[in-house]
Structure 1
Amino acid sequence: MSRRRFEVAPLSIYGTSTIGVYIFTNNTLTIVPMDVPDKVINSIRDTLGTTVIKSSLAKSPLIGIFMIGNDNGVLVPSIVTEDEVNELRKNGLNVSVIRTRYTAVANLVLTNSRKTVVSPIIEKEYIDLIRDTLGTEVIIDEICGTYLVGSIAVANDRGVLLSPEARDEDERKIRDYFGLPVNVGTVNRGRSFLRGGLVVNNNGGLVGSDTTGFEIVRIMQALGGA
């Protein structure tokens, strides 16, 4: 079977290009805030090749900040409501509540279907939960000199995109960790906090509407290959 062409679509939500704070996706399901219009949902569905559902987390639209995961499972912080967790489970997601003191868990975890890098600030007692939920090997480390490993890098099963702050040693170790090609790039006209403006799975990517053509080409090279 031929592999689907990796598509990248510019998008804005609530008039902003920081779309990554509002959207979570894996390869089958994308979760967006409750009031996202149908036109945007159709674009997301076509680009990522997923079912799109509407939800909230912690009674807020900040789904992309409060949720991280892959096709095996997702992690959410303890500030989410029981009803929200139940709704996600009804849609087929394996959901684990991680009771870390840090609520923006997506900023602290970088994962694809095989490997996960976890920020060293996450309490050690939750590492087994992360490993079991995501079904991957877990590595505890910083990237680019910061503990915000989920903010300054984006990964799928085809490649990894790193912030321009990455040094040669960062690129080398991420290549070793994931066993995938690693590239450096930005979103939204030079922003290095990649996840804020980029949502990807293996089928395609959504980028903030301020992202330039050059940046999109780099994203496609980094995450559409392998």
Structure 2
Amino acid sequence: MANRLTFTDHGEIGLICNLTNTYCLVGNGGSKNFYSSIEAELEDVIPIIKTSIGGTCSVGRYCIGNKNGLLVPHTTTQEELQHIRRSLPDGVIVAPIEEGLTSFGLFIACNDHVALAHADLRWEFKELITDVLGVEVFMPEDSYSFFSGTYCVLSNRGGLIHPNASKKILDEYSAALEVPFEPGTVNRGSVCLNPGMTVNDWTAFCGSSTTKSELCVIDRVFKLREP
């Protein structure tokens, strides 16, 4: 089931964490209770990597990853890059992106098989996503790009999307990405889903202000109560 957390004074957990099925990156600077909650859920299953990216704790905002690889921005320092590479499981590819875009988590949602990317991303970057993350890249038409990245969260079991998404968009995304999509919110009505939460195939972390009804939707969409 989904877990509610607070990082310092806010609940934008998706900006601080990047959770996958094989590792969890989490930003430095949180409280002991914050890290102990994550460790209680993940410590015996996957590595938890405390780090910064470009000197900031917002690792979920500045990287995108899955079980196959991790893309980090050009602002990542050599020390940070070395620490991340040493800490990741064997076989996970790490690639810094030598271009201006840095906030990958606000433009791209991905699981282990497919990525949902904003239509304005350059073609070369689309190829890099495919090469490093080992996924197909779905770039919806411009009128639907609003729902990519910030307003969508994706796992191998489901997708949560902005509550204004029409049935047509839900059906198109479900067919293209091969997971069921449902509309929802996090953190007491926030439509900024990716900044507000992070998820893998068996658990999720979201802000402490997330309501019980929002948690129920998250658990149902991502099938977190199923084996």
TM-score normalised to structure 1 length: 0.91
Partner Cα distance (1:113, 1:16) in 2: 29
The alpha-carbon deviation at position 200 of structure 1 amounts to 0.5
* Structure 2, gaps ≥5 residues long: none
Q: Which has the larger displacement, 92-101 or 137-146?
A: 137-146
The structure 1 residue matched to 2:47, chosen from 45, 51, 57, is 51
Alignment RMSD (CA, Å): 1.8
Provide the aligned length of Structure 1 versus Structure 2: 220
2:86 maps to 1:90? yes
**Equivalent residues of 1:25, 1:31 under 8 A apart:** yes
What's 1:72 paired with? 68
**Equivalent residues of 1:23, 1:30 under 8 A apart:** yes
Letter in 2 for 1:53: I
Aligned partner of residue 150 in structure 2, secondary structure? coil
Letter in 2 for 1:128: E
The alpha-carbon deviation at position 148 of structure 1 amounts to 6.0
Partner Cα distance (1:62, 1:185) in 2: 23
* Structure 1, gaps ≥5 residues long: 1-6
**Equivalent residues of 1:143, 1:166 under 8 A apart:** no
**Equivalent residues of 1:118, 1:138 under 8 A apart:** yes
What's 1:81 paired with? 77
Report % sequence identity: 28
2:187 maps to 1:188? yes
TM-score normalised to structure 2 length: 0.90
What's 1:61 paired with? 57
**Equivalent residues of 1:142, 1:148 under 8 A apart:** no
The structure 2 residue matched to 1:39, chosen from 22, 30, 33, is 33
Partner Cα distance (1:69, 1:165) in 2: 27
Equivalent residues in 2 for 1:162-201 (5 A)? Answer: 162-201=161-200
**Equivalent residues of 2:15, 2:59 under 8 A apart:** yes
2:149 maps to 1:150? yes
Q: Which has the larger displacement, 10-19 or 43-52?
A: 43-52
Partner Cα distance (1:143, 1:32) in 2: 32
Q: 1:123 to 1:147 in 2, by over 3 A?
A: farther
Post-superposition Cα deviations, 1:10-48, rounded to whole Å, max 9, x if no partner, equal: 100012111111111111211112222333222113335
**Equivalent residues of 1:171, 1:182 under 8 A apart:** yes
The structure 1 residue matched to 2:24, chosen from 30, 53, 62, is 30
Aligned partner of residue 177 in structure 1, secondary structure? helix
Q: 1:101 to 1:159 in 2, by over 3 A?
A: same
